[in-house]
Amino acid sequence: MRQHTCFASLQWLFKKRRAAQVEADCQRLLEAAEQAEATNDHLRAAGLLEQLQTVRPDSKRLRRLAYCRLRAGQWQEAVEAYTVADCFSPIDCYHAGFAAAKVGRFADSLRFWQRIDSAHPDFLAQKERVCQLLLQELYHHLDEQPIEREEEVRQLVKEFSLDALPSGKELLAHCNHLRLARLWQEDQVEELMAMADQNDLRYATVLEIQAKATCQFLLGDRTAVSAPLLRQFIDSWLSALFHPKISQEAGEQRQALLDFGENLLRRHSTRLHEGPQLIQEWEENLALLNRLAQLPAVQEQALPICTPTLALRTGLSDQLCTLIRERRDDFSNSKEWIETGAAYAVAEALLLVRSTMYETALKELVSLEEQRDDPFLAYGAAQVRTACGLEALRHGRCREAEEILVGGEPQAVWSVELEKQLLTVLAQENGQETPCLAACLSILSLLPKSSPPEEIARALCIALTKLAVRLHNSKKARPQLLAAAMQKAVALNPDDEFARMMLEEVSIAFELAELHEAIDQGWLSKAARIAAASRYEQVVEQFFGAAQQVAVQLEQGDYPDTEAAILILEDLLRSVTRVDTSHQMIGEIQRSLDDLRLKQEMA
Amino acid sequence: MNPYKILGLSAEATAKEIIAAATKSLREKKYSAREIAEARQQLMNPELRPLLDFICFVDLEPLLTSSRLATEPLGSDDLKLLEIFV
């Protein structure tokens, strides 16, 4: 027992002695390392610290070791040491990132530096330099394995916001192209559709992929296809088939492909309430592109042309507007020239209208109408104004509609179109409220006089007359309004017998209404002026009927005194004489007047 | 759906190849019988075939090469350690 206790004490003593020895060794190593570091012998210091770390690991000392490795130019070992040390202080992070950059681990370098919150210009410059180095490396990866490494490269570009640098932006664009190529190769049409908004359609191949992917998508068994998707198809399909490179590829099949696209659109449009509008958009865009494609400048220089919406998206609007502006003589007439130019000049506002964002479109009008001297902008603004006004009208906001529709600068070229559109709205919505019809008539009567083509004028006249009849029968519209509308109708087609009859009827009603108002107010001279100016017997008869009534009242002694009666009779005599100098009433009034004057003298 | 992909054919496939590919595709059961029949029918239609050739193929080469500007290759040798952090 005593022997065992003695042995245990001895063991404890050895342990203690060994620990003391280790402590002494460590202290010696540490002092030697510090001394080496003080003399800038970082390589030796690193070796000593490494030995020390093996004996007694310590995280603080590990960072010191990493620093010595760095100062000794042992970049790889420094990065490893910093990675294990898990450093957080700015200086450690900077050193770790620096070492990583030195061994070409640029992404790791930037990851370390992302932890540093510093705007020091030298640091920012160095960081940008490392970004450039990383970009160079990423470009190299894509050159070697474009499709395979695209996703990894894209993630790195995003992680370090490399797209803020010009070459990074280019690289991201290249990644987008590669992703498109991969999705196309893999036949992932739905994914291609999902990323349609991000595509840079200035590139012919990108446009081609988008057009063909949308077409393939529509060719599938789709039960629900949205209007925006069909608009995307219209823009990409038409623009692709009018692109010089792609249309060349289509060759002889180009027209068949255009017809194929139209049939596909028609098939899907039937399921949507925007269907007719979409067909109209197809036709309008096709007409625009056909006009542009026939311009000698476009043919000679093989210029890429596209739909106005696509031009807006790809930043080609100004270029195309300039082309159209400079080629006025190459268009068959000035209306076509203005229409084409306006479609590109106000594409954004028209797009808002198509997307039923009328309020935003109206706000756009303010800036558009500031440039009234530009015929494209003026015409386009009138188109936008009309669309917004008609929308207000459709929703029964008649006053607002009137303000919008007659509020803009009068556009002689556009007023015919506006008239047509107003009448289309009226024809479509037979069940609408009378105030709306009245608002329509009011707008039509306020539009500047225009000379539309004969057949349009005839149609307009018929539509206006029908509308006036409806309002006249309902007795809800003001006679003045009806008369103005019918005057316009007859001006449009003076040979329309029914319109002329209707004009006469509403004009009589209007004059009678004015006459009755004057008589009710006791304004005989005004009533006489209306009757004298009138071409209608009914108006004159009504005037004399009212005058007769006044005369009878006076004869019956219905007057306050003789003087007042004389004044009334004199007024009556003047009024009647003004309308008809030979009317029998003149004699009767004259006699009554003489009697009264005699009575006054005797009194 | 792309009929060429369904049948695993290239744009140059002949009528004989289309029929053979449709039989093979039916055996593989990767696509439904209806899809395979439709793809076969479409590719055998002489009027539709040139349109499908246009719709189903794109020359991807322009997208695979980057438009990187030729610049001097950069290196990290000249990076200098900054003494701005303490």
- Burial of residue A373 (number of CB atoms within 10 Å: 0-12, 13-18, 19+): exposed
CB-nearest partner of B2 from A178, A187, A204:
A187
How close, in Å, is residue B79 to chain A by CA atoms? Answer: 7
Q: CB–CB of A540/A580 below 8 Å?
A: yes
Collapsing DSSP states into helix, strand and coil, what is residue A433?
A: coil
| Nearest residue to A476 via CA among A432, A539, A515 | A432
Q: Confidence class of residue A519 from pLDDT cuts 50, 70 and 90? A: confident
What is the distance between the alpha carbons of residues B67 and A219, in angstroms, rounded to a whole number?
A: 34
Contact list in A for residue B59 (CB cut-off 8 A) is 205
Q: CB–CB of A385/A365 below 8 Å?
A: yes
DSSP 8-state class, residue B76: S
In chain A, the residue whose alpha carbon lies closest to the alpha carbon of B71 is A136
B2 in A contact zone (CB under 8 Å):
yes
Structure tokens at A63: 């960072």
Q: Are B51 and A253 within 8 A, CB to CB?
A: yes
> A335-346: per-residue pLDDT in tens?
899 999 999 999
pLDDT at A421 over 80: no
Looking at per-residue pLDDT, the higher value among A65 and A460 belongs to A65
pLDDT at A434 over 70: no
Contact list in A for residue B62 (CB cut-off 8 A) is 203-205
What pLDDT is recorded for position A408?
65
Domain ranges, ordered by start, for chain A? 26-178, 529-602
pLDDT at A510 over 60: yes
Contact list in B for residue A261 (CB cut-off 8 A) is none
Q: CB–CB of A406/A359 below 8 Å?
A: no
A459-A378-A295 Cα angle (round to 5): 85
The residues, any chain, with a CB within 8 Å of residue A471's CB and separated by 6 or more, are A434, A437, A438, A441, A477, A481, A482
How close, in Å, is residue B13 to chain A by CA atoms? Answer: 18
| A-B C-beta contacts closer than 8 Å | 100
> B25-79: per-residue pLDDT in tens?
999 988 999 999 999 999 999 999 999 999 999 999 989 886 665 566 778 888 9
CB-nearest partner of A98 from B56, B75, B79:
B79
Collapsing DSSP states into helix, strand and coil, what is residue A83?
A: helix
What is the distance between the alpha carbons of residues A232 and A236, in angstroms, rounded to a whole number?
A: 6
Q: CB–CB of A494/A457 below 8 Å?
A: no
Its sign, for the CA torsion A143, A147, A151, A152, is negative
Is the residue at B77 inside a domain? no
CB-nearest partner of A120 from B63, B66, B84:
B84
Report which residue type is found at A434.
Answer: T
> A79-102: per-residue pLDDT in tens?
999 988 877 789 999 999 999 999
Q: CB–CB of A369/A408 below 8 Å?
A: yes
Gyration radius (Cα) of chain B, Å:
25
Longest dimension (CA), chain A: 174
pLDDT at A76 over 90: yes
Q: Are B63 and A216 within 8 A, CB to CB?
A: no
Collapsing DSSP states into helix, strand and coil, what is residue A39?
A: coil
Structure tokens at A176: 């987008």
Looking at per-residue pLDDT, the higher value among A520 and A242 belongs to A242
Instruction: State the residue range of the domain holding B33.
Output: 3-57
Q: Are A94 and B82 within 8 A, CB to CB?
A: yes
Q: CB–CB of A420/A463 below 8 Å?
A: no
What pLDDT is recorded for position A431?
46
Is the residue at B69 inside a domain? no
Q: CB–CB of A407/A447 below 8 Å?
A: no
A459 phi, psi to nearest 5 deg: -65, -40
Q: Domain A26-178: give its CATH superfamily.
A: Tetratricopeptide repeat domain (1.25.40.10)
Contact list in A for residue B56 (CB cut-off 8 A) is 212, 216
DSSP 8-state class, residue B57: -
Q: Are B56 and A212 within 8 A, CB to CB?
A: yes
What is the distance between the alpha carbons of residues A365 and A359, in angstroms, rounded to a whole number?
A: 10
B11 in A contact zone (CB under 8 Å):
no
Tally of residues, chain A: 603
What is the distance between the alpha carbons of residues A568 and A166, in angstroms, rounded to a whole number?
A: 93
What is the distance between the alpha carbons of residues B33 and A236, in angstroms, rounded to a whole number?
A: 32
| Nearest residue to A176 via CA among A189, A159, A160, A163 | A163
Is the residue at B22 inside a domain? yes
Chain centroid to Cα A285, Å, comes to: 17
- CB atoms under 10 Å from CB of A43, counted, come to 15
Q: Are B66 and A174 within 8 A, CB to CB?
A: yes
Q: Are A257 and B54 within 8 A, CB to CB?
A: yes
Is the residue at B48 inside a domain? yes
Give the number of C-alpha atoms closer than 13 A to the C-alpha of residue A348, restricted to the C-beta side.
Answer: 16
Distances (CA, A) of A508 to A500, A513, A537, A540, A576: 12, 8, 9, 11, 20
Gyration radius (Cα) of chain A, Å:
45
Looking at per-residue pLDDT, the higher value among A416 and A217 belongs to A217
How close, in Å, is residue A429 to chain B by CA atoms? Answer: 42
Q: CB–CB of A303/A244 below 8 Å?
A: yes
Q: What does the pLDDT average to over A506-532?
A: 87
Looking at per-residue pLDDT, the higher value among A449 and A166 belongs to A166
What is the distance between the alpha carbons of residues A519 and A521, in angstroms, rounded to a whole number?
A: 5
Which segments of A411-494 are extended strands (E)?
Answer: none
Q: How many domains does chain B have?
A: 1
A373-A378-A379 Cα angle (round to 5): 140
What is the distance between the alpha carbons of residues A282 and A307, in angstroms, rounded to a whole number?
A: 10
Mean pLDDT score of chain B, rounded to an integer?
A: 88
Please name the helix (run of DSSP H) or strand (run of DSSP E) that holds residue A107, with its range, or none: helix A106-113
What is the distance between the alpha carbons of residues A549 and A543, in angstroms, rounded to a whole number?
A: 10
What pLDDT is recorded for position A10?
75
In chain B, the residue whose alpha carbon lies closest to the alpha carbon of A252 is B50
pLDDT at A125 over 90: yes
Give the number of C-alpha atoms closer than 13 A to the C-alpha of residue B62, restricted to the C-beta side.
Answer: 11
What is the distance between the alpha carbons of residues A260 and A211, in angstroms, rounded to a whole number?
A: 13
Distances (CA, A) of A313 to A235, A317, A344, A351, B3: 11, 8, 11, 11, 32
Is the residue at B79 inside a domain? no
CB-nearest partner of A143 from B62, B66, B75:
B66
How close, in Å, is residue A113 to chain B by CA atoms? Answer: 12
CB-nearest partner of A205 from B2, B58, B68:
B58
Q: CB–CB of A99/A79 below 8 Å?
A: yes
